[in-house]
Amino acid sequence: METKGPRILIVDDELQIRRFLRISLTSHGYDVKDVGTGKEALDVVTTFAPNLVILDLGLPDLDGLEVLHILREWSKVPIIILSAKEQEQAKIIALDSGADDYVTKPFGMGELLARIRTGLRHTIAIGEEPVLKFDDLSIDLAHRNVKLLEVEIKLTPTEYELVKHLAINAGKVLTHRFLLHAVWGEIFENNIQYLRVYMGQLRRKIELDPSRPRHIITEPGVGYRLL
């Protein structure tokens, strides 16, 4: 009996995009189902039990954000948002509402596959291993220390909290609002310049070349992700 790969649900009202994604993802070993409306998506999620959802924001019945909110009331399934460039604010709202990532149309299949792999990794808990490793960077959550090339880096408590949140959510986009709220509290949620200053300081400490960062990547207008 053939073993199928992870189950992916595609929610998009454009038939051509659904067909393209279904063929491409199936060829990479995924078990794929696609629907064209939000109501269909909510019905299928309970029967298909996807390991990951690719969700378009522009649906003909329910708004994509509404589908996201309903799913997040009871499900932690990784959700990748498909968005048009002019939907940047909706994209930010989606990430703050629990989406795991976004891909902007038009998109390359290689990029989407990478985001899917990252999203599927989020379904696996960090577990008992307290040390997270990212190439030459390691973060020891148990002892609250960070090493670059096996040499410990002195971080301020605020810098450590920033890199900790990025590391725990590695590969996932964290919005400016999320990071400001998580590290400084609700009163600082809109102080993006404050966050940029600290990110600059952090990059100077954990990047071999801060002008060409390999770990902390800026998502323009949205936030940051740690690769």
Residue, of 86 and 143, whose pLDDT is higher: 143
CA distance 223 to 68: 20
Number of Cβ within 10 Å of residue 189's Cβ equals 16
Q: Which domains does the chain have, with CATH numbers?
A: 7-121 (3.40.50.2300), 131-226 (1.10.10.10)
Q: How confident is the model at residue 127 (pLDDT cuts 50, 70, 90)?
A: very low
Least confident of 115-129, 147-161, 194-208: 115-129
Tell me the three state secondary structure of residue 100. Answer: coil
Band the pLDDT of 122: cuts 50, 70, 90: low
Q: Check residue 85 and give its pLDDT.
A: 65
pLDDT at 75 over 70: yes
Q: Tell whether pTM > 0.75.
A: no
The whole-number pLDDT of residue 204 equals 94
Residue 52, H or E segment: strand 52-56
Q: In this predicted model, what pLDDT tens digit does every residue of 12-70 receive, in sequence order?
A: 999 999 999 999 999 999 999 999 999 999 989 888 989 999 999 889 998 889 999 88
Structure tokens at 87: 């939907």
- 99 and 80 in contact (C-beta within 8 Å)? yes
Lowest mean pLDDT among 81-90, 101-110, 167-176, 194-203: 81-90
Six-digit token string for 116: 């899917």
